[in-house]
Structure 1
């Protein structure tokens, strides 16, 4: 569990500079340049992510079961994950209705994803993982709403871009639910339904 917690802290801390240390982040960018900052940020994030994934895999083997989710929560989680994938796809292109209306759909997608996984997973390690991501997403969304949103001037909703965005989210969800989740995580989201 310790390795998992270390990785989780590194990963979320690296993604929290704009929440808790915006002025320090800006000073660092001014001092070392944006390209070097993004490189450093990426390296630290990847290190945290790898440690978190390895630690999660280890912690999952001997975690404490806190509750057993009922079948209704599993179905709700599947639908919420569909919404999360559509929000994720909505972060680009910038002229789709989801991006223009919500401004920060990727962060909202993380919120919905974390909530869905909290509903459908009743173990301590999952409570820590998805609870931490949900708290982070709430704080990041609040912080992001205070910052200017960089969208093209006078951006107008493109119906084509919106349809493509929604279709991409649905396709990603189908691919993930019906195979990629099992391949990457080792657990099928549909296994709890049988």
Structure 2
């Protein structure tokens, strides 16, 4: 469990610097340069991710059960992740109405993904992992939206064509994950089987 906690702390801290210490971040970029800063950021984020994966895998070997979850919550989580994948695709495809409206669809996707997985999982490791990401994404979304309003950030132009591309990509990615990847990677088939 220690590796999971360390990994979450490192990964989420690295991804919170711009949100909560933007002045420090700006000074570091000025001091070492954008490329060096991004390399350092990426190395720390990757180290955190590796610790999360190893720590979560270890915690699943000897789980500490916190509550009972009905089997149908897996199906609910699978369905709730569909809009998360649509938001993820909207974050990756430029010029979507979702990105223009929400401003930070990736953070909204993380919120929905984490909530869906909290509903379907019931161990301490699940609570730490998905709860940690949920709390972080809620805070990051609020801070980011507040910063956008303070800076008078304008909504980017959007096109229906780009929305259609994002929907197709999101549905395909969700389908591939749910049908082919989730069980081999995580040991759980979202729709049974």
Asked if these proteins are the same fold (TM beyond 0.5), I'd say yes
Pair 1:118-2:118 in alignment: yes
Cross-structure match for 1:82: 82
CA-atom RMSD, angstroms? Answer: 2.0
Flag the 1:146–1:33 CA change in 2: closer, same or farther, 3 A.
farther
How big is the shift at 1:7?
1.2
In the superposition, the TM-score normalised over structure 1's length comes to 0.91
Q: Which ranges in structure 1 are unaligned for 5 or more consecutive residues?
A: none
Q: Secondary structure at the match of 1:90?
A: helix
Q: Secondary structure at the match of 1:65?
A: coil
Please tell me whether the aligned partners of residues 86 and 166 of structure 2 are also in contact (alpha carbons under 8 angstroms): yes
How big is the shift at 1:9?
1.0
Cross-structure match for 2:168: 167
Please tell me whether the aligned partners of residues 92 and 99 of structure 1 are also in contact (alpha carbons under 8 angstroms): no
Please tell me whether the aligned partners of residues 75 and 191 of structure 2 are also in contact (alpha carbons under 8 angstroms): no
Q: Equivalences for 1:97-116 in 2 at 5 Å?
A: 97-116=97-116
Q: Which ranges in structure 2 are unaligned for 5 or more consecutive residues?
A: none
Please tell me whether the aligned partners of residues 65 and 123 of structure 2 are also in contact (alpha carbons under 8 angstroms): yes
1:4 and 1:61 map into 2 onto residues whose CA distance is: 13
Flag the 1:143–1:153 CA change in 2: closer, same or farther, 3 A.
closer
1:95 and 1:155 map into 2 onto residues whose CA distance is: 7
How big is the shift at 1:110?
0.1
Residue deviations 1:84-138 (CA, integer Å, cap 9, x gap)? 0000001032211111111100000000000000000011110110000000001
Q: Secondary structure at the match of 1:189?
A: coil
Length, aligned pairs only = 191
Residue deviations 1:22-71 (CA, integer Å, cap 9, x gap)? 11111111111111111100000001111110111001111111122224
2:22 and 2:154 map into 1 onto residues whose CA distance is: 25
